[in-house]
Structure 1
Amino acid sequence: MKKLIFSSLLAVLLLSFCHNKAVAQVEDNTVYNFVSMENPPSYPGGIASFYKFLGDNMKYPQQAKDDNIQGIVYVSFIVEKDGSLNNLKVDRKLGGGTDEEAIRVLKLSKRWNPGMQNGKVVKVKYNIPVKFSIPGKKPNPKVAIPIAGSVGPVNESKVYNLLSVENPPLYPGGIAKFYELITENIKYPKSAIDAKVEGNVYVSFTIAEDGSLIDIKVDGKLGAGTDEEAIRVIKLSKRWMPGTQNGKPVRVKYNVPIKFKLPK
């Protein structure tokens, strides 16, 4: 009887171990969206260096030149745990060989600094616009695929989405420096400590044409003073390098999660 009970317990423990291991594997292989990350992946030297790398290595396809095809190729990829880029694909095509060229150049990329979530390295999906433009030439409307906001005058009052703007805004020193600012200045509200409140406050703001932050607000509340503290710290930010569209600075909406975690 004792032997039977022991065997049953062993079987239960083994099943539990296998289940937990399987759950861990699923969690380890989760692909996060970079917009909602605690610490998003970053290119060595910052996103400006990444776009410089693209510009230095991009070769305008002859077919696209002959047909005067200009516009934006929207590409997505996964930044793996080791910083390599995987699953590169074109989400919105432009044609004339530009789609293939965008993928070719991205495959030349250095390894990125991988994203972090809950102190662990994770996989992250990243989206970027790759612009093809012929200096001194206007796009041929008969062959160029129209991209919202990429042709014609910039609407100064429009607020662009981070993923749709040609050149996204940049924090001085890169996004890691922005999170460093938050970490160094955040003060855990006493009411949140007393109530043992932990989690993320989701904040959005608009980066204006001069790089200042406006329309700062909490989209996902946590409470107990954490929401107000998140806003206070965001207001300490330096001016950003504004996003640009058609060579002009524009307003861009940005979203960040601010984590509150009690020390153990």
Structure 2
Amino acid sequence: MKKLIFSSLIAVLVLSFCQNKAMAQVEDNTVYNFVSMENPPSYPGGIASFYKFLGDNIKYPQQAKDDNVQGNVYVSFTVEKDGSLNDIKVNRKLGGGTDEEAVRVLKLSKRWNPGMQNGKVVRVKYNIPIKFSIPGKKPNPKVAKPFDGSTQPVNENTVYSFVSMENPPSYPGGIANFYKFMGENVKYPKAAIDNKTEGIVSLSFVVEKDGSISDIKAERKLGSGTDEEAIRVLKLSKKWNPGLLNGQPVKVKYNIPVQFKLPK
């Protein structure tokens, strides 16, 4: 009888161990969304360095030049636990060879700093727009790609999400110029230096129809004065190019990460 009880206990412990191991493996493979992360993935040197890498490596496809195809290719990918990029997909296409070019260059990316959740390295899904623009040329409306909801009536007071826009707001000169402006103007708060505070402040704001910025909020805070500093500098921003819907300027909510990193 004692042998039977002991054997049953061992079987329960083995089963429990296997279940816990299986649960750990499931958790281990979870792909998190970068907007919900405590410490989202980051490109070495920051997002401005990432867009510089893209600018240095993208070759404008000849077909896109010939057809005057301009706009954003919206791409998603997974930053693996070792920082490599996987599962690269085009979520909204532009055409003319731009989609394939965006994917090609992303595959050349150096490894990212992986995302962290609860002190552990995790897999994270990341979304980015990659802009294709021909200097001195306006986009040809005849080759503009339609999107679901593009024919909806424009409501003057609606605040649209930038991820749903065919022509989202843009900073003059592109997103790399925006992060250059942020880098040149952000002053690392003394409290953050003393506390060795590093990480991401996630901001949201509304780009108004005239390109001005309003309703700035720190959606995810970092503390030690970094949140207030990110907002202060954002208020200094020049006017953006407003988002367009059916050819009309509209109000658009925009989200950006602002990275604070102490020099080593």
Common fold: TM-score over 0.5: yes
Partner of 2:154: none
Name the CA distance, whole Å, in 2 between partners of 1:247 and 1:49. Answer: 25
Instruction: Give the conservation status (yes or no) of the 8 Å contact 1:80–1:114.
Output: yes
- Secondary structure in 2 aligned to 1:103? helix
> Counterparts of 2:57 and 2:219 in 1: how far apart (Å)?
40
In the alignment, what sits opposite 1:25?
Answer: 25
Q: Which residue of structure 1 lines up, in the alignment, with residue 107 of structure 2?
A: 107
Instruction: Tell me how far apart the structure 1 counterparts of residues 229 and 28 of structure 2 sit (CA, whole Å).
Output: 34
Distance 1:244 1:127, change over 3 A: farther
Q: How does 1:135-154 map to 2 (within 5 A)?
A: 135-145=135-145
Where do 5+ consecutive residues of structure 1 fail to align? 149-156, 187-202, 220-226, 257-264
Give distance in 2, aligned partners of 1:140 and 1:69. Answer: 7
Checking the alignment, whether the CA contact within 8 Å between 2:43 and 2:50 is kept in structure 1 is yes
User: Secondary structure at the residue paired with 2:17?
Assistant: helix
Offset of residue 68 of structure 1: 1.1
Please report the RMSD computed on the Cα atoms of aligned residues, expressed in angstroms. Answer: 4.3
Q: Residues 9-55 of structure 1: CA distance to partner in whole angstroms, max 9, x if unpaired?
A: 11100110010001111111111111110001000000000000000
Residue 239 in 1 paired to residue 227 in 2? no
Deviations 1:37-88 (A, max 9, x none): 0001000000000000000000011111111111110000000000000000
Cα deviation for residue 2 of structure 1 reads 0.8
The TM-score, its normalising length taken from structure 1, stands at 0.67
Contact 2:102-2:130 within 8 A present in 1 as well = yes
Structure 2 counterpart SS, 1:6 = helix
Q: Which position in structure 1 is the counterpart of 2:97?
A: 97
In 1: Cα distance, 2:237 partner to 2:205 partner:
10
Q: How many residues align?
A: 220
Structure 1 residues 162, 90: CA separation in 2 closer, same or farther (over 3 Å shift)? same
Partner of 2:151: none
- String of CA shifts for 1:172-195, please: whole Å, max 9, x gaps: 49xxx89x9499499xxxxxxxxx
In structure 2, do the counterparts of structure 1 residues 125 and 51 end up closer, same or farther at CA, with 3 Å as the change threshold? Answer: same
Q: Please, which moves more after superposition, 87-96 or 236-245?
A: 236-245
Give the letter aligned to residue 65 of structure 2: K
Structure 1 Cα separation of the partners of residues 193 and 20 of structure 2: 34
What is the match of residue 262 of structure 2?
A: none
Q: Quick one: distance in 1 between partners of 2:132 and 2:218?
A: 35
Structure 2: state its 5+ residue gaps.
149-156, 244-250, 258-264
How far apart, CA to CA, are the structure 2 residues paired with 1:215 and 1:56? Answer: 32
Q: Which residue of 2 aligns with 1:63?
A: 63
Contact 1:74 1:130 in 2 (8 A): yes
Letter matched to residue 97 of structure 2: G
1:45 corresponding residue in structure 2? 45
Matches of 1:45 and 1:244, distance apart in 2: 26
Shift of 1:119: 0.2
* Residues in 2 aligned to 1:243 and 1:162: alpha-carbon distance in whole angstroms: 19
Residue 11 (1) aligns with residue 5 (2): no
Q: After TM superposition, give the deviation of residue 99 of structure 1 in Å.
A: 0.5
CA contact (8 A) 2:169 2:242 kept: no
Q: Is this contact kept in 1: 2:207–2:242, CA < 8 A?
A: no
Q: Give the percent of matched residue pairs that are identical in Structure 1 and Structure 2.
A: 62
Kept in 2, the 8 Å contact 1:32–1:123? The answer is yes
What TM-score do you get using the length of structure 2 for normalisation? 0.67
